[in-house]
């Protein structure tokens, strides 16, 4: 949970965000705020507009209209500063497969503009925290998925950014590793790094401080998992999702 | 009645890595048989051997009474395969993909349309759209239609619901259940434990070995200890504290609670006292029924301790 003194520290501030592709409205007047140290779950059916929103929040795309601030920076004019102050981990690509563990960390540390001494310090801290010392010189493609995911996450926060974006970080991973991964997320949030995560595992939605559910370009729900379950009278977040994430017209 | 699939002692190595180790199982007609296990457990390798696309190093396998190596050509006409992460031609349209698959198997879309109509009807309005432009859920339905278009007796689905939202996953399983009425035997792999409940029988697989095969209800019944659910408002603090408690064997997060096993199978006042001291004032502790994921975690831990 995030501490009280962080309550008013907004790391993401979105007002009336609209993103259009031609006449197609991918993000339709989104309004939300995310605070320092929060674990924020960003849910929605495929095609709801999540990826579009995340790309704007990570400085990869500009809004059509509306106000968007990430880590205090403007999403229209300060995208490079946004990129420097965030971490990002997605399923399709995170680490270079033909480099070793150490080489990847060195590479990303350089990309983040970290000083060499600091990178070296973080390498040994990271390897110790994950009990990865024996893998320091292993090629990424030789490592099982669970290890790679944990490492990718650690690399995404190597530079201690204000926010880290995780796009379905635990897809296909075994149930033990999945839980260990979430403990890493908890630890990270406790250090004051905001975690913005999308997932299709509905039990993982329960680990979040607050979740939002998107449907057809709009946010249809935003609250704590407990509050949502009470409001929709369900036992699980999955049931809330099934109730509201698809329009009834079908 | 003979089983539709019989596998005895299948082994496969890649260099020094043992991808599959002594895999034996049988599958009966019209069963939905699930392989539940994480990435790297050997599911995809096994499915490639099942679909005659890869040779095992040891062991033998029969499908529909035929040896999978000697009769591979005939078997290929009777198997439908949906490999992991989509099998579609991204630059062909929906209907072009379907026509292509039908032609390759020497049939037409019309001939077996009744089999796929329930599934295909969801995407038929988009038949001119390129497969690459479909959403995840729609791609999945198209891939399934293409795997069924030649009316196979066995359908092999490798993680068909990975990366797909909870609603589409639910719809997909409803479609699979309907296929059983056509006497199609379905082999499916998934990392989602809750999908195991929708199979007739399930094999838990890890690191190339089968840990257990049984009906899903039976798997959870085999959990060896009492299971306790603990809830508190600060989840992470709760997990850390529970792990410090001397009687704790395992404490794992499970959605909105922590699943706890204790040495003496008893949760008494000493736990409450301990948690209060740790700064967790009002935990809710109750006994709970173990699910398939609890059993899988138990088996995985046993496996890694051996």
A247 → chain B, closest CA residue: B167
- Determine whether the interchain pair A237/B255 forms a contact, defined as Cβ–Cβ distance below 8 Å: yes
- Determine whether the interchain pair B253/A207 forms a contact, defined as Cβ–Cβ distance below 8 Å: yes
- Rg over CA atoms, chain B: 23
List of chain B residues whose C-beta atoms are within 8 Å of the C-beta of residue A45: 137, 165, 167-168
- Determine whether the interchain pair A145/B252 forms a contact, defined as Cβ–Cβ distance below 8 Å: no
The DSSP secondary structure of B157-194, one letter per residue, reads EESTTTT--HHHHHHHHHHHHHHGGGT-EEEEEES-HH
With residues binned 3-state (H G I as helix, E B as strand, rest as coil), the percentages for chain B, rounded to 5, are: 35, 30, 35
Domain with CATH 3.40.50.300 in chain A: 1-85+164-250
Of A45, A145, A171, the CB nearest to B165: A45
Which of B 249-288 lie inside 8 A of A, CB atoms?
252-256
- Tell me the two tokens of residue A69: 């601030």
CA separation, residue B89 to residues A35, A134, A216 (Å): 43, 41, 27
- Residue-level pLDDT at A160: 93
- Residue-level pLDDT at B227: 96
Count of other CB atoms within 10 angstroms of residue A136 = 14
- Residue-level pLDDT at B16: 83
Average pLDDT over every residue of A28-45: 95
Q: What domains can be seen in chain B, in order of their start residue?
A: 5-221 (3.40.50.300), 227-289 (3.30.70)
CB burial string A204-223: b at 16+ within 10 A, e below? bbbbbbbbbbbbbbbbebbe
- Residue-level pLDDT at A6: 47
pLDDT digits (tens, 9 = 90+) for A81-113: 999 899 999 876 679 999 999 999 999 999 888
Which of A46, A143, A209 is best to mutate for the B interface (most B CBs within 10 A)? Answer: A46
Helices (H) and strands (E) in chain B, counts: 11, 14
The residue with greater pLDDT, A28 or B172, is A28
Alpha-helical runs (H) found in chain A: 50-57, 79-84, 101-111, 116-129, 145-156, 175-190, 202-205, 225-232, 237-244
Of B165, B254, B296, the CB nearest to A200: B165
| Residues in contact with A148: Cβ distance below 8 Å, sequence separation at least 6, in sequence order | A94, A95, A140
Helix (H) or strand (E) holding A17: strand A10-21
| Residues in contact with B28: Cβ distance below 8 Å, sequence separation at least 6, in sequence order | B1, B3, B4, B185
Distance CA A41, CA A26 (A): 19
Residue A201 above 90 pLDDT?
no
Which of B133, B232, B235 is best to mutate for the A interface (most A CBs within 10 A)? Answer: B235
- Determine whether the interchain pair A45/B301 forms a contact, defined as Cβ–Cβ distance below 8 Å: no
CA-wise closest residue to B300 among B238, B209, B168, B169: B209
Q: B18 and chain A: CB distance < 8 Å anywhere?
A: no
Closest chain B C-alpha to A114 CA, distance in angstroms:
30
- Residue-level pLDDT at A4: 45
- Residue-level pLDDT at B303: 67
For chain B, 306 residues long, give each residue's pLDDT as a single digit of tens: 789 999 999 999 998 889 999 999 999 999 999 998 887 789 999 999 999 999 999 999 999 999 999 999 999 999 999 987 668 999 999 999 999 999 999 999 999 998 898 889 888 999 999 998 887 778 888 999 999 999 999 999 998 887 777 878 888 898 899 898 899 999 999 888 888 889 999 999 988 999 999 999 899 899 999 999 999 988 889 999 999 999 999 999 998 899 999 999 988 899 999 999 999 988 999 999 999 889 988 988 876 654
- Residue-level pLDDT at A149: 87
Residue A80 above 80 pLDDT?
yes
Fold classified for A1-85+164-250: Rossmann fold (3.40.50)
Distance CA B222, CA A188 (A): 36
Q: B193 and chain A: CB distance < 8 Å anywhere?
A: yes
pTM for the model stands at 0.83
Closest chain A C-alpha to B235 CA, distance in angstroms:
8
Distance CA A246, CA A232 (A): 15
- Determine whether the interchain pair B168/A146 forms a contact, defined as Cβ–Cβ distance below 8 Å: no
Highest mean pLDDT out of A41-55, A145-159, A220-234, B191-205: A220-234
Of B137, B253, B300, the CB nearest to A174: B300
Query: A–B: how many Cβ contacts below 8 A?
Result: 96
- Determine whether the interchain pair A175/B167 forms a contact, defined as Cβ–Cβ distance below 8 Å: no
- Determine whether the interchain pair A242/B191 forms a contact, defined as Cβ–Cβ distance below 8 Å: no
Under the banding of pLDDT at 50, 70 and 90, the label for residue A250 is: very low
CB B5 within 8 A of CB B154: yes
CB A14 within 8 A of CB A1: no
Distance CA B265, CA B281 (A): 23
Pairing mode, strands B257-262 and B227-231:
antiparallel
Q: For the complex shown, is ipTM > 0.90? A: no
- Determine whether the interchain pair B256/A171 forms a contact, defined as Cβ–Cβ distance below 8 Å: no
- Determine whether the interchain pair B255/A45 forms a contact, defined as Cβ–Cβ distance below 8 Å: no
- Residue-level pLDDT at A101: 94
- Residue-level pLDDT at A90: 83
> What mean pLDDT is reported for chain A?
89
Average pLDDT over every residue of A228-242: 92
């Amino acid at each position: 949970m995030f501490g009280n003194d962080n309550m008013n520290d907004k790391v993401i501030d979105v007002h009336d965000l609209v993103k259009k592709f031609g006449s197609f409205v991918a993000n339709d007047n989104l309004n939300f705020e995310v605070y320092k140290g929060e674990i924020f779950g960003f849910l929605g059916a495929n095609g709801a507009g999540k990826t579009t929103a995340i790309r704007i929040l990570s400085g990869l795309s500009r809004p059509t209209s509306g106000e968007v601030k990430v880590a205090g920076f403007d999403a229209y004019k300060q995208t490079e500063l946004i990129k420097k102050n965030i971490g990002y981990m997605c399923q399709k690509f995170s680490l270079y497969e033909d480099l070793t563990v150490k080489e990847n960390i060195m590479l990303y540390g350089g990309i983040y503009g970290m000083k060499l001494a600091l990178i070296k310090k973080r390498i040994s801290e990271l390897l110790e925290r994950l009990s990865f010392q024996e893998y320091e010189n292993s090629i990424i493609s030789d490592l099982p998925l669970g290890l790679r995911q944990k490492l990718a996450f650690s690399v995404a926060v190597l530079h201690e950014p204000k926010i880290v974006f995780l796009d379905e970080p635990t897809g296909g991973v075994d149930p033990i590793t999945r839980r260990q991964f979430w403990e890493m997320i908890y630890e990270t949030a406790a250090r004051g790094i905001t975690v913005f995560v999308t997932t299709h595992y509905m039990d993982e939605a329960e680990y979040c401080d607050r979740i939002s559910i998107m449907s057809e370009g709009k946010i249809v729900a935003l609250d704590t998992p407990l509050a949502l379950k009470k409001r929709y009278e369900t036992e699980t977040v999955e049931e809330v999702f099934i109730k509201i994430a698809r329009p009834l017209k079908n | 009645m003979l089983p539709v699939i019989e596998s005895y002692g299948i082994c496969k190595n890649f260099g020094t890595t043992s991808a599959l180790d002594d895999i034996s199982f049988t599958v009966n007609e019209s069963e939905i048989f699930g392989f539940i296990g994480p990435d790297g457990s050997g599911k995809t390798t096994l499915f490639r051997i099942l679909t005659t696309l890869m040779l095992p190093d040891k062991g033998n396998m029969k499908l529909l009474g035929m040896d999978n190596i000697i009769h591979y050509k005939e078997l290929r006409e009777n198997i439908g395969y949906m490999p992991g992460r989509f099998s579609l031609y991204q630059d062909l349209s929906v209907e072009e993909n379907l026509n292509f698959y039908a032609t390759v198997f020497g049939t037409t879309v019309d001939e077996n349309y009744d089999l796929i109509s329930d599934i295909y009807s969801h995407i038929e309005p988009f038949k001119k759209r390129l497969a690459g432009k479909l959403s995840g859920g729609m791609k999945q339905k198209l891939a399934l239609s293409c795997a069924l278009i030649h009316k196979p007796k066995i359908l092999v689905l490798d993680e068909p619901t990975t990366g797909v939202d909870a609603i589409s996953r639910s719809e997909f399983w409803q479609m699979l259940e309907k296929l059983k009425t056509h006497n199609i035997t379905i082999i499916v792999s998934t990392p989602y434990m809750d999908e195991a409940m929708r199979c007739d029988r399930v094999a838990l697989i890890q690191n190339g070995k089968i840990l257990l095969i049984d009906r899903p209800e039976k798997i959870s019944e085999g959990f060896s200890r009492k299971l306790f659910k603990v809830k508190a408002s600060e989840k992470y603090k709760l997990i850390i504290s529970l792990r410090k408690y001397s009687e704790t064997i395992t404490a794992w997060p499970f959605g909105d609670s922590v699943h706890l096993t204790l040495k003496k199978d008893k949760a008494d006042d000493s736990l409450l006292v301990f948690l209060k001291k740790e700064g967790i004032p009002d935990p809710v502790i109750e006994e709970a029924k173990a699910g398939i994921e609890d059993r899988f975690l138990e088996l995985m831990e046993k496996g890694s301790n051996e």
